[in-house]
């Protein structure tokens, strides 16, 4: 990561240090290592090859490294996450603490560090990382098995309770952590631990052996990435075996035959992402065909406008089609991350902009709401309405405030590894050229198919402004295509090349394809219109019926009581005749919530307040619904609840007056 304010690298030595890996084959791998997969349409680039500046994501990555990652290690230490390994190695005498799956939280933290180290060396974390990985390696059994829970008096229960034991789930996060550290540093200690565990699993599981799957998918993703890192085909084969089996928890059909998205949302997202990975390596058309059907179910029937996923607190599950309650939304932060992982892989194997659009929706909204602006507190659930002290549902934790630690703390390290990965999702390459998927102020070095290096500089205030300037600096004149994602909402987008208007029609929901000979200093200016939009849900979405959400660019907005003191949030309505962009004002407030654009516009409130109404009213009552004019101020949804507890809603009723 290029920290905000850091200069652009100038020397060839600096550039090579950022974008070229070691000679052992680990260099060049992106968030997903696409180098082996014959069925990837796009090639991911190393996380360290894209340096973020003072844009939207750069400061957040800086916070992730400087505040989030160190604070979470302190929390893990305080709650026994490292001591659980120390007690097995004999370096500390203590009782095991935490739920049976708590090993995975430490592994995800290590993965976050490993991915972050692919952008910057983080010398301040090296000793802590070495201490932790040393304890993990020392705790591994001679046969390769590793768990701090299924040992000692529970050793006989190994692999006997896979519906709920999370043994292979934890193993998967160990493997992903090991791959991330190896890519960052070349260190093999943890990679050898991961390989030992994977080899043991390959001995125990498979056709004619133990044919049970883990109740929480994750091992499938990890085995495929471990195969990519090591070249050991048995890991890919074992992942394929697990994918071919029914899911043990709930006896759900294999993902290639599942008729709809059902069950636990995080587990579903992980298994779908693994299915996409498996297709990329094998070309299993049946897998891809069913993933496409499941994707349609997700985006057309089961995803919140924020990119959130999960209607039910009980079971952390999907609801039925269009069952998307606002105040009772579960929308677990990890579920958003899992489906972003799926979206990214679908984008890589297809090159279709629709997957980039969903990835963007998740990242800027339902994912980012999961972490505080300070980077040290987290939401587990992300509702679309909150009314503390009122009649609507409160969080299962009792209040809508982010917390630094949860008894199940899967979300914090998941947020951290995802934030660290974002530089690797900005751009990709292909035989045709370079694709830009996420717009942020950055500098990158890309390599064309023939090996030509191309420096790419992006200057923008996106998502607050739709003006994007891209400067290309190929090391020599080169013909290739520059492909820029045009979001589906960007109707009327325009572009200029070296000051000359681009004549081709620019279609929203696609890539602007510019194929030409590029020379050093060539500039593309892209303009994405940023008008205020009013979005209504499908009529079957009960909590959104008769309502609209305010959107601008990729940002979903909400109204929060802190900014709207004229009436309770539940009383505020938008007059139907004011659902036009020119009736609303956009203001950039650099001092507010880390710097945001707010949207202000006309509203109505009832006189008297609805709070004084009887439970049921006769519609002929002359006092029913008298309105007076007021104004509302909307803030980005991701920033709500950063100023204390208060009322909030995304879906705002519309009233005809």
Digit-coded pLDDT (tens) for 555-602: 999 999 999 999 999 999 999 999 999 999 999 999 999 999 999 999
Instruction: Kindly tell me if the per-residue pLDDT of 126 is higher than 60.
Output: yes
Query: Is 588 within a domain?
Result: yes
> Tell me: the pLDDT tens digits for 418-453?
999 999 999 999 999 999 999 999 999 999 999 999
How many domains would you assign to the chain? 3
Residue 13 confidence (pLDDT): 34
Distance CA 372, CA 403 (A): 9
31 has pLDDT over 80? yes
Residues 486 and 421 in one domain: no
List phi, psi (to 5°) of 195.
Answer: -65, -40
- Residue 572 and residue 515 share a domain: no
Pick from 242, 265, 267: nearest CA to 254: 242
Residue 21 pLDDT grade (very low, low, confident, very high; cuts 50, 70, 90): very low
Token pair belonging to 220 = 């499938």
- Within a domain: 4: no
The CA-based diameter of the chain, rounded to the nearest angstrom, is: 80
Q: Domain for residue 3, yes or no?
A: no
Indicate the residue among 506, 527, 548 that finishes a domain.
527
Q: CATH number for the domain including 495? A: 2.60.40.1180
Tokens linked to 268 = 């579903």
Catalytic residues: 316, 410
Q: Which domain holds residue 591?
A: 533-655
pLDDT band at 3 (very low <50, low <70, confident <90, very high): very low
302 and 162 in a single domain? The answer is: yes
Average pLDDT over residues 537-544: 98
Q: Which residues does residue 485 pair with via DSSP β-bridges, in sequence order?
A: 511
Instruction: Judge if 30 and 94 occupy the same domain.
Output: yes
User: Is residue 509 included in any domain, yes or no?
Assistant: yes
Give the three-state DSSP class for 381. Answer: coil
> Does 170 share its domain with 228?
yes
In this structure, are 250 and 291 located in the same domain? yes
Q: Report pTM.
A: 0.94
43: domain CATH number is 1.50.10
Same domain, 649 and 627: yes
Residues 87 and 173 in one domain: yes
Domain boundary among 527, 559, 589: 527
Task: Give the pLDDT score at 623.
Answer: 61
Point out the domain boundary residue: 425, 445, 462: 425
Domain shared by 40 and 101, yes or no? yes
- Judge if 645 and 630 occupy the same domain: yes
- Is 7 domain-assigned? no
Intra-chain end-to-end CA distance of the chain, in Å: 52
Neighbour-count burial of 41, counting CB atoms closer than 10 A to its CB (0-12 exposed, 13-18 middle, 19+ buried): middle
Q: Are residues 550 and 476 in the same domain?
A: no
Q: Find the length of the chain.
A: 657
Identify the three-state secondary structure at position 131: helix
SS3 readout for 525-575: EEECCCCEEEECCCCCCHHHCCEEEEEECCEEEEEECCCCCCCCHHHCEEE
Distances (CA, A) of 215 to 218, 246, 247, 368, 605: 10, 10, 6, 27, 49
pLDDT in tens, 111-120: 999 999 999 9
Q: Is the pLDDT of residue 317 over 80?
A: yes
For 339-397, the pLDDT digits (tens) are 999 999 999 999 999 999 999 999 999 999 999 999 999 999 999 999 854 544 444 44
Does residue 5 fall inside a structural domain?
no
Instruction: Tell me if 6 is assigned to some domain.
Output: no
Same domain assignment for residues 522 and 539: no
């Amino acid at each position: 990561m290029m920290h905000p304010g850091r200069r652009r690298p100038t020397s060839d030595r600096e550039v090579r240090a950022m974008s070229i890996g070691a000679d052992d084959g680990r260099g060049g791998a992106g968030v997903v290592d696409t180098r082996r997969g014959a069925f990837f349409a796009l090639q991911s680039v190393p996380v360290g090859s894209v340096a973020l500046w003072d844009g939207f994501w750069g400061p957040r990555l800086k916070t992730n490294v400087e505040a989030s990652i160190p604070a979470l290690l302190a929390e893990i230490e305080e709650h026994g996450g490292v001591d659980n390994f120390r007690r097995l190695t004999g370096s500390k005498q203590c009782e095991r603490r935490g739920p049976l799956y708590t090993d995975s939280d430490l592994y995800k933290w290590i993965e976050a560090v490993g991915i972050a180290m692919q952008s910057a060396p983080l010398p301040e974390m090296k000793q802590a990382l070495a201490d932790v990985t040393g304890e993990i390696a020392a705790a591994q059994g001679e046969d390769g098995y590793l768990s701090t829970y299924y040992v000692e008096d529970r050793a006989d229960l190994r692999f006997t309770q896979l519906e709920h034991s999370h043994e292979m789930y934890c193993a998967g996060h160990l493997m992903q952590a090991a791959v991330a550290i190896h890519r960052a540093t070349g260190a093999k200690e943890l990679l050898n631990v991961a390989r030992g565990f994977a080899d043991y699993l390959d001995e125990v599981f498979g056709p004619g052996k133990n044919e049970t799957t883990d109740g929480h998918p994750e091992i499938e993703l990890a085995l495929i990435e471990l195969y990519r890192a090591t070249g050991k085909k048995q890991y890919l084969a074992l992942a394929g075996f697990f994918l071919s089996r029914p899911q043990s928890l709930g006896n759900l059909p294999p993902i290639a035959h599942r008729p709809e998205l059902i069950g636990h949302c995080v587990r579903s997202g992980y298994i779908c992402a693994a299915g996409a990975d498996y297709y990329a390596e094998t070309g299993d058309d049946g897998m891809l065909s069913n993933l496409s059907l499941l994707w349609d179910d997700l985006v057309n029937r089961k995803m919140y406008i924020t990119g959130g996923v999960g209607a039910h607190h009980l079971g952390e599950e999907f609801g039925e089609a269009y069952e998307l309650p606002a105040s009772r939304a579960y929308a677990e932060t990890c579920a958003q991350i899992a489906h972003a992982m799926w979206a990214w892989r679908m984008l890589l194997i297809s090159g279709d902009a629709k997957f980039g659009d969903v990835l963007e929706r998740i990242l800027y909204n339902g994912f980012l709401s999961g972490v505080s602006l300070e980077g040290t507190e987290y939401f587990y659930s992300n509702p679309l309405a909150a009314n503390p002290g009122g009649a609507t549902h409160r969080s299962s934790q009792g209040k809508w405030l982010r917390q630094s630690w949860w008894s199940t703390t899967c979300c914090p390290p998941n947020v951290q590894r995802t934030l660290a990965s974002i530089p690797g999702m900005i751009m990709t390459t292909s035989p045709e050229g370079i694709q830009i998927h996420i717009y942020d102020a950055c500098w990158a070095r890309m390599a064309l198919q023939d090996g030509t290096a191309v420096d790419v500089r992006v200057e923008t205030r996106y998502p607050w402004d739709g003006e994007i300037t891209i400067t290309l600096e190929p090391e020599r004149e080169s013909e290739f295509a520059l492909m820029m994602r045009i979001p589906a909402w960007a109707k009327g987008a325009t572009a200029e090349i070296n000051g000359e208007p681009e004549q081709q029609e620019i279609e929203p929901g696609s890539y602007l394809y510019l194929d030409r000979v590029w020379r050093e200093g060539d500039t593309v200016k892209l303009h994405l219109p940023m008008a205020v939009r009013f979005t209504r849900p499908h009529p079957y979405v009960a909590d959104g019926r008769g309502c609209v959400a305010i959107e601008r660019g990729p940002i979903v907005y909400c109204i929060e009581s802190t900014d709207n003191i004229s009436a309770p949030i539940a009383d505020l309505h938008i007059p139907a005749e004011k659902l036009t962009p020119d009736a609303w004002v956009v203001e950039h407030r650099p001092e507010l919530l880390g710097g945001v654009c707010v949207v202000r516009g006309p509203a109505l409130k009832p006189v008297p307040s609805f709070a004084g109404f009887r439970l049921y009213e006769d519609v002929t009552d002359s006092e029913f619904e008298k309105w007076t004019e007021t104004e509302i101020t909307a803030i980005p949804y991701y920033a709500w609840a950063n100023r204390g507890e208060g009322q909030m809603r995304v879906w705002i009723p519309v009233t005809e007056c």
